[in-house]
Amino acid sequence: MPSRTINILGATGSVGQCAADVVAKNPDRFSVQTVTAHGNTRKLAETAIRLKARKAVLCDRKEEAILRELLKGTEIEIGIGPDSLLESSCSAVDVTLAAIAGLAGLDSVLNALRHSRVVAIANKEPLVAAGPLVMQTARQSGCTLLPVDSEHNAIFQVLDTKNLQSVENLILTASGGPFLNREISELEHVTPAQAVAHPNWSMGAKISVDSATMMNKALEIIEAHYLFDMPGEKIKVLIHPQSVVHSMVEYTDGSVLAQMGASDMRTPLSHALAWPERLPTPGQKLTLNTMKHLTFSEPDPVRFPALKLAYVCLENGPEACIALNAANEAAVEAFLAEKISFYDIVGTVEYIVTQALGSETPMASNSLDDIKKIDGRIRALTQDYISKNPRRRTVAG
Ligand SMILES: NC(=O)c1ccc[n+]([C@@H]2O[C@H](COP(=O)([O-])OP(=O)(O)OC[C@H]3O[C@@H](n4cnc5c(N)ncnc54)[C@H](OP(=O)(O)O)[C@@H]3O)[C@@H](O)[C@H]2O)c1
């Protein structure tokens, strides 16, 4: 594989650092152009130096002097502020890894789709809230959009795209998160620290909370709908606590194709960054012979009400998906700030989405401006609802 130029957006995060490992393991295959961060200045400088990046971009202007000091004596160019992130996402590189957390990554994803040859997308929230726009932008520019999320990367690896009419179901697997076997009544006492401690995966705070509430799988149902152009009724979820089978495709002839691997994001990243070739991964390898059993079961709809919300939103269209994502981002932020209990995250999202669906204010359109307006309105509604209904079930009980 000839060397590819690459931008890593969100390089200091959990996915960004896994990608840095893949790139560092294969130094002749990648030439790193830009690495970006929001405010983690030290990790940004360390990553830029480790990967011999051409440029380091920091969104938080307050830390500029520190970054300049940390990169003194290197030839690494420095970019400061959100505009610098947007400018870098417009550069004509071979691959952009989109690994910013939340809808904050939307503008940079759209820019990368217009200017990059390939976009490897981990950042699922832009797909959930702006799926039609993201897919249309990729189609118009001819950019190849490759999924990094382990479930979608698994489906991409086993999906027969020339025979889509023979696909019976996409089956997303879910570990069930840290509270799979906890009494439901105990969930009201869960703290942010407990919610972010995932049993199988090491991830950023937001996605870890989403995994614990199963909202992550709800977002992934919508993500799969847009990425693979599949109707909601053909996207199923199975609980698979061992996280070995990352997802499956069931065909009309009864064949079920699965992709397996260790619970290590460096595998899907190695795949997406090298596709259509394969690279040696610095990640863990799967040792099937040490595994006693692999189990699969239907998710309990009472324990995990978030899943039903995803199907309701898909039935109601893209605006409902914007509302789901915005209400969830605001509710998770409030939980991490200990303003609401764990139990109330999905309850809050359910309430806000129901209100939005019943609202007489039209919520239409596929333009970036309209998506941002709806997103902003729903976040404000959620924050207002939370401030009027704080800690309905308190962490202290
Ligand atoms: N972690 C996983 O295993 C995993 C798996 C599949 C999909 N994903 C998805 O991948 C995305 C990243 O997840 P993660 O777990 O890596 O998150 P994370 O650890 O929280 O990292 C987020 C990255 O985005 C940057 N960032 C945050 N807010 C920003 C903003 N407003 N503007 C610019 N940059 C910003 C952060 O910079 P600072 O560090 O400077 O704050 C960091 O580099 C999410 O959409 C998640 O759902 C993650």
Structure tokens at 130: 């702006």
Q: Which pLDDT does position 292 carry in this prediction?
A: 85
What is the enclosing helix (H) or strand (E) of 359? none
Cα distance between residue 58 and residue 36, in whole Å: 6
CA dist., res. 346 & res. 210, Å (int):
10
| 122 within ligand 1 shell (Cβ under 6 A) | yes
Pocket of ligand 1 contains residue 332 by CB under 6 Å:
no
Looking at residue 187, what is its pLDDT? Answer: 83
Is there a contact between 310 and 223 (Cβ–Cβ < 8 Å)? no
3-class secondary-structure state, position 72: coil
- What SS3 class is residue 260? strand
Ligand 1 within 6 A of CB of 18 = no
Q: Mean pLDDT across the stretch 171-200?
A: 89
Closest residue by Cα to atom 2, ligand 1, is 203
At residue 227, the pLDDT reads 98
Average pLDDT over residues 296-304: 95
Q: Which of 290, 223, 210 is nearest to 14 (CA)?
A: 210
Ligand 1 pocket residue status of 108, Cβ below 6 Å: no
Residue 393 confidence (pLDDT) above 60: no
CA of 382 from ligand 1 middle (Å) equals 22
**Measured in angstroms, how far is the CA atom of residue 16 from the centroid of ligand 1?**
7
Please answer whether residues 313 and 222 qualify as being in contact, where contact means their C-beta atoms are separated by less than 8 angstroms.
yes
- Cα–Cα distance measured from residue 271 to residue 154, given in angstroms and rounded to the nearest whole number: 10
Decide whether any atom of ligand 1 lies within 6 Å of the 310 Cβ. Answer: no
Where does CATH 3.40.50.720 sit in the chain?
A: 4-147
Number of H helices and E strands in the chain, helices first, is 15, 11
pLDDT at residue number 216: 98
For ligand 1, whether the C-beta of 35 sits within 6 Å is: no
Which of 18, 38, 201 should be mutated for ligand 1, with most atoms under 8 A from CB? 38
The topology under which CATH files domain 4-147 is Rossmann fold (3.40.50)
Q: Ligand 1 in contact with 203 (CB < 6 A)?
A: yes
Give the confidence band of 201 by pLDDT, cuts at 50, 70, 90. confident
Domain covering 306-388, topology = Rna Polymerase Sigma Factor; Chain: A (1.10.1740)
Average confidence (pLDDT) over 246-269: 97
Q: Which residue is associated with the tokens 């090491």? A: 202
66 sits in which H/E element: helix 64-70
The torsion angles phi and psi of 212, rounded to 5 degrees, stand at -70, -35
Q: pLDDT at position 397, please?
A: 35
What six digits make up the tokens of 395?
């962490």
Contact between 224 and 135 under an 8 Å Cβ cutoff? The reply is: no
- Cα(12) to ligand 1 centroid in Å equals 8
Question: Is any ligand 1 atom within 6 A of the Cβ of residue 42?
Answer: no
Q: What is the DSSP string of 337-357?
A: TTSS-THHHHHHHHHHHHHHH
pLDDT per residue as tens digits for the range 68-80:
999 999 999 999 9
Nearest CA residue ID for atom 41, ligand 1: 38
Q: What is the pLDDT of residue 394?
A: 41
CA 288 to centroid of ligand 1, rounded, Å = 30
Q: Mean pLDDT throughout 2-28? A: 97
Atom 29 of ligand 1, residue of closest alpha carbon: 38
Supply the residue whose CA is at minimum distance from atom 1 of ligand 1. Answer: 203
Q: Tokens for 360?
A: 């007489």
Q: In what order do the strands lie in the sheet with 118-121?
A: 77-80, 55-58, 30-37, 4-9, 95-98, 118-121, 144-147
Rounded to the nearest integer, the mean pLDDT of the chain is: 94
Question: Residue for token digits 């992934």?
Answer: 220
Ligand 1 within 6 A of 123 CB? Answer: yes
Q: What's the pTM?
A: 0.96
Find, among 201, 30, 213, 175, the residue nearest to 122 by Cα.
201
Share of the chain above pLDDT 90, in %: 88
Task: Flag whether pLDDT at 184 surpasses 90.
Answer: no
The confidence score (pLDDT) of residue 212 equals 94
- The mean pLDDT value for 273-287 works out to 94
C-alpha 358, offset from chain centre: 28
Each residue of 91-143: pLDDT tens digit?
A: 999 999 999 999 999 999 999 999 999 999 999 999 999 999 999 999 999 99
The pLDDT assigned to 362 comes to: 56
Tokens at residue 29, please?
């295959």
Start-end ranges of CATH 1.10.1740.10 in the chain?
306-388
pLDDT for residue 380: 98
Q: Which atom of ligand 1 is nearest to the CA of 44?
A: 40
